[in-house]
Structure 1
Amino acid sequence: MDKKILRALQEDGKLTNAELAEKISLSQTATAERVKRLTRDGYVLGYTAKLSPKMLNRSMLVFVEIKLDRTTPEVFETFAEATKNNPVVMECHMVAGGFDYLVKARVADMEQYRRFLADSLLSLPGVRETHTYPVMEEVKETSAIGI
């Protein structure tokens, strides 16, 4: 039953408790209690609206590989804080392999990307090299986790 609730909420986070209860064939009281428990236990982290990048002039999606020249706790912390505080950065992941970080960013165009790269990434201490992958077509984009 919990999996049904989680699937339904991922599909439509705006469902009212009554709509959710009907969808999963459970009473409203039992549904509300389960949702409270799932939230309290950390399965549900929050609710957001999905916005249109095109309408907000952020149509260009880029992925950037970042290589650091030194991997000290201070460099990691500085890089992490800078990306967390940058509204252009949608995701930033420290990875194992041929580079240190993978950054996903949304910008208006290549000009804005070049400014972001120069001002926000290359200016950080420890950044040695970047490789940029502009997205030509978004084939699949979701935040849903398969349940």
Structure 2
Amino acid sequence: MKTLLISILCSVLFISTGFSQAAEEKQRLKYEAEMETKKKEYINDFVGSIEVDDFQKEIIKQKMESYFDEYKKINLLGLREFEHKAYVQKLDDTHFVDLKAMITEKQMGQIMDALKGKWSHSDEKKKKKKEKKRKKKKNKS
């Protein structure tokens, strides 16, 4: 009888942990998919705001996506802070070498700001709105 109760208890525990792990995995996959869509939206918004031709926009978009993928890989390594910073700095220095030849230094600075989280889509909208107001005022005068 004791053996039966112990085996039932153990099976219930194993089954419940299995269900909770499946739920956690499902939640993690949902979170990753959501983050992927936000990343693509962020990149598309940024690339739409930068003033370059369509070919350069496509290359910038691809480079930014691959940069974020490499950055994610670095984060998954579980390095110490100073090692992490060194890897990220190396990534920053080497990942956009070929792109630097195609665009201006100002545009490269905008890209790096966007990668580091210093670019905000709402800031760009505000600037464009102010610019439109100025043009309308100027045209009325």
- Coarse TM-score class (shorter-chain normalised): under 0.3
Say which structure, 1 or 2, has more relative contact order (CA 8 Å, 6+ apart). 1
Which has more strand, going by share of residues?
A: 1
TM-score using structure 2 length: 0.27
Q: Which has the larger radius of gyration?
A: 2
Q: Which TM-score applies when normalising by structure 1? A: 0.26
